[in-house]
Amino acid sequence: MIAIVCMSRNPDLVEYFKCNLSSIQGSEFNNHLIALKNSSINVKESITVVNSSYMKSAFFDARVLIDVFILPYIFITIFLKKVKVIHFTTAHISNLFLSILLKPFNIYQIFTIHDLTPHPGKKSYFIRLYNKLVIKYLSNEVISFSKKEIGNAENPEKFKHFELSGFPQYIKQPKAGCKTILFFGRIDLYKGMENLFNIINMSNRAQTGFKFIIAGKGIIENYDKLSRLDNVDIINRFIKDDEIESLFEKASFTILPYDSATQSGVSILSYAHATPVISYDVGSLGEYLIDGLNGYLINYQDNEKIIDILKKANGSNILEMSKHSINEFNLKYSYDACKNAYSKYYLGKLDS
């Protein structure tokens, strides 16, 4: 019996959890699977489903007391179901409580860590501490989406590499775009807004003819200067799901001028929308981009190279890259690719 756990409410992480569940669905597997989830997640699978967390935040929330209170019930359910393998698919403080409780009982514990190197920010200390506890003391195996980070890890022998995948495909036909570059997603300090500001100014001076869209919630450096430019549209708020496709439909490229990164869901989301990516080669971003095929991988702050690419960009080569973005997405990053990879993985755990 395998238990798959998602205590988080983050929409992207919930999709990953649901893909994990789907990878081991079917009449021959349903008696070998239990889902432990946040109470806000809807799961329609014909399997045993238990609400294992009521928190709205992964680390700071008074509802953690509820999670602790129901812990004995979760523990009993796991033993009644004779769970031999448990997979914690997202980072969450309640994972630690359950994992510590299960540690003496020889249940094989798998943790997915989405960011082995935490992004800069208020929570980075807590994420780093969580990762250390998981890797060094609690896990039998750790799933990571970055070969580079695995190579730099303290216990690389514990790790299993998977592609960051499980995204639905939104745009299935290649597109030439309309000379528009999209910066998309939550705007954090490490996302390189100053770099983007410089790229836009250089693009305008070089008269590349490209328009820029900045779409996402967060603090935008140089907001006043950017908002006065005719070729820059700013949507500085949370972008709803039903708005995303129309943004990508307009885009020739997505740009990731990040100062630091692990992997990026924005890259995969771009390929799911048939959109190639222009990215600095920082963190593990290069693992998700084949330079010249589904985008361009640029040395950090080599903005002259980006401008040269924009000068040479035309409908024909953008269309060709869009085709390759679709192909790479279907091969490595799609929902089906995720299901196939985890189906083999889980079946191996059941057979061992």
The structural domains of the chain, ordered by start, are 2-166+335-351 (3.40.50.2000), 180-333 (3.40.50.2000)
Alpha carbon 63 to its chain's center? 26
Q: How large is the C-alpha radius of gyration of the chain?
A: 21
Report the distance separating Cα 192 and Cα 256, nearest Å: 8
Helix (H) or strand (E) holding 5: strand 2-6
Collapsed DSSP state (helix, strand, coil) of residue 167? strand
pLDDT tens string, the chain, 352 residues long: the values are 899 999 999 888 888 898 888 887 664 555 678 999 999 998 876 788 999 999 998 887 899 999 999 999 999 999 999 999 999 999 999 999 999 999 999 899 999 998 888 777 667 788 889 999 999 999 999 999 998 888 888 888 899 999 998 888 999 999 987 899 999 998 988 899 999 999 999 999 999 999 999 999 999 989 999 999 999 999 999 998 889 999 999 999 999 999 987 777 899 999 999 999 999 999 889 999 999 999 999 999 999 999 999 999 999 999 999 999 999 999 999 989 998 999 889 988 877 7
Tell me how far CA of residue 132 lies from CA of 7, 32, 48, 99, in angstroms: 19, 30, 31, 14
Phi, psi torsion values for 254, nearest 5 degrees:
-100, 145
Contacting residues for 289 by C-beta, under 8 A, at least 6 apart? 267, 277, 279, 295, 296, 297
The reported pLDDT for the residue numbered 27 is: 47
Are the C-beta atoms of 200 and 226 separated by less than 8 Å?
A: yes
> What's the pTM value of the predicted model, to 2 decimals?
0.89
Q: From the CB of residue 246, how many other CB atoms can be counted at a distance below 10 Å?
A: 8
